[in-house]
Amino acid sequence: MTEHTAQDPAASSAAITFPEGFLWGASTASFQIEGSTTADGRTASIWDTLCGKPGAVANGDTGDPAADHYRRVSEDVALMADLGLATYRFSVAWPRVRPDGGPVNQRGLDFYQGLVDELLERDIVPWITLYHWDLPQALEERGGWTNRDTAYRFAEYADTVLTALGDRVPFWTTLNEPFCAAFLGYASGEHAPGRTEPDAAVAAAHHLLVAHGLGTALIRARRPDVKLGITLNPAPIVPADPADPVDVAAAQRVDLVRNRVFLDPLFRGEYPEDAHTQFDQFGFSELVRDGDLKLISQPIDLLGVNFYHDEVVSGHGGTEPPSAGGRPTPLVGAAPFSNPQRDLPRTAMGWPVDPRGLTDLLLRLHREYPGVPLYITENGAAYPDTVGEDGQIHDEDRTRYLDGHLRAAHAAIEQGVDLRGYCCWSLLDNFEWAWGYDQRFGVVHVDYKTQERTVKDSGKFFARVIEANGIPGSSD
Q: Please state the φ and ψ torsions of residue 96, each to the nearest 5 degrees.
A: -90, -40
Which of 177, 190, 311, 432 is catalytic? The answer is 177
- 45 or 233, CB closer to ligand FCB? 233
Using alpha carbons, select from 331, 341, 360 the residue that is nearest to residue 5.
360
> Would you count residue 176 as binding ligand FCB (CB under 6 A)?
yes
Helix (H, G, I), strand (E, B) or coil at 443: coil
- 22 or 90, CB closer to ligand FCB? 90
Candidate segments 13-21, 65-73, 173-181, 205-213, binder of ligand FCB by CB under 6 A = 173-181
> Would you count residue 425 as binding ligand FCB (CB under 6 A)?
yes
- 155 or 424, CB closer to ligand FCB? 424
Return the residue of 126, 432, 446, 471 that touches ligand FCB, per CB under 6 A. Answer: 432
User: Using CB under 6 A as the criterion, what x/- string covers residues 17-56 for binding ligand FCB?
Assistant: ------------x--x------------------------
- 176 or 216, CB closer to ligand FCB? 176
User: Using CB under 6 A as the criterion, what x/- string covers residues 220-259 for binding ligand FCB?
Assistant: -------------x--------------------------
Query: Binders of ligand FCB: how many residues, by CB under 6 A?
Result: 12
What is the closest distance, in whole angstroms, from the C-beta atom of residue 363 to ligand FCB in the complex? 22
What is the closest distance, in whole angstroms, from the C-beta atom of residue 33 to ligand FCB in the complex? 10
Instruction: Please say if 177 is a catalytic residue.
Output: yes
Q: Are 136 and 95 in contact (CB under 8 A)?
A: yes
Instruction: Please say if 140 is a catalytic residue.
Output: no
> Would you count residue 377 as binding ligand FCB (CB under 6 A)?
no
**In terms of DSSP bridges, do strands 125-131 and 87-91 run parallel, antiparallel, or are they unpaired?**
parallel
| HEC readout, the chain | CCCCCCCCHHHCCCCEECCCCCEEEEECCHHHHCCCCCHHHCCCEHHHHHHCCCCCCHHHCCCCCCCCHHHCHHHHHHHHHHHCCCEEEEECCHHHHCHHHCCCCHHHHHHHHHHHHHHHHCCCEEEEEEECCCCEHHHHCCCHHHCCHHHHHHHHHHHHHHHHHCCCCCEEEEEECHHHHHHHHHHHCCCCCCCCCHHHHHHHHHHHHHHHHHHHHHHHHHCCCCEEEEEECCCCEEECCCCCHHHHHHHHHHHHHHHHHHHHHHHHCCCCHHHHHHHHHHCCHHHCCCCHHHHHCCCCCEEEEECCCCEEEECCCCCCCCEHHHECCCCCCCCCCECCCCCCCECCCCCECCCHHHHHHHHHHHHHCCCCCEEEEECCCCCCCCCCCCCCCCCHHHHHHHHHHHHHHHHHHHCCCCEEEEEEECCECCCCHHHHHHCCCCCEEEECCCCEEEECHHHHHHHHHHHHCEECCCCC
Which of 118, 140, 378, 432 is catalytic? The answer is 378
What is the closest distance, in whole angstroms, from the C-beta atom of residue 13 to ligand FCB in the complex? 27
Q: Cα separation of 103 and 398, whole Å?
A: 43
Candidate segments 176-184, 214-222, 446-454, 461-469, binder of ligand FCB by CB under 6 A = 176-184
Return the residue of 177, 190, 403, 429 that touches ligand FCB, per CB under 6 A. Answer: 177
Return the residue of 90, 183, 375, 441 that touches ligand FCB, per CB under 6 A. Answer: 441
Return the residue of 171, 433, 437, 462 that touches ligand FCB, per CB under 6 A. Answer: 433
> Would you count residue 183 as binding ligand FCB (CB under 6 A)?
no
Return the residue of 140, 190, 311, 378 that touches ligand FCB, per CB under 6 A. Answer: 378
> Would you count residue 112 as binding ligand FCB (CB under 6 A)?
no
- 44 or 428, CB closer to ligand FCB? 428
For the chain, give the number of residues: 476
What is the closest distance, in whole angstroms, from the C-beta atom of residue 438 to ligand FCB in the complex? 12
User: Using CB under 6 A as the criterion, what x/- string covers residues 286-325 for binding ligand FCB?
Assistant: --------------------x-------------------
What is the closest distance, in whole angstroms, from the C-beta atom of residue 101 to ligand FCB in the complex? 21
Return the residue of 44, 57, 164, 180 that touches ligand FCB, per CB under 6 A. Answer: 180
The residues that are catalytic are 177, 378
User: Binding residues for ligand FCB, per CB under 6 A?
Assistant: 29, 32, 176-177, 180, 233, 306, 378, 425, 432-433, 441
